[in-house]
Amino acid sequence: MKFDEKSLRLYAVTDRSWLNGASLEWQVEEALKGGATFVQLREKNLERKSFYREAVSIGKLCREYGVPFVIDDDVELALESGADGVHIGQSDMALRDAREQLGPEKIIGVSARTLEEALEAERNGADYLGVGAVFSTSTKLDAVDVSLETLREICGSVSIPVVAIGGIKADNLPLLSGTGIAGVAVVSAIFAASDIRKAAAELKRLSEEAAGGKAGKVR
Catalytic residues: 42, 111, 140
d(CA 65, CA 29): 9
Asked if 95 contacts 63 with a C-beta cutoff of 8 angstroms, the reply is no
- Phi and psi dihedrals of 6, rounded to 5? -65, -20
Asked if 165 contacts 196 with a C-beta cutoff of 8 angstroms, the reply is no
Residue whose C-alpha is closest to residue 4's, from 66, 89, 91: 66
d(CA 202, CA 174): 12
The dihedral through the CA atoms of 117, 119, 125, 131 has a sign that is: positive
d(CA 106, CA 98): 10
Q: Give SS3 for 70.
A: strand
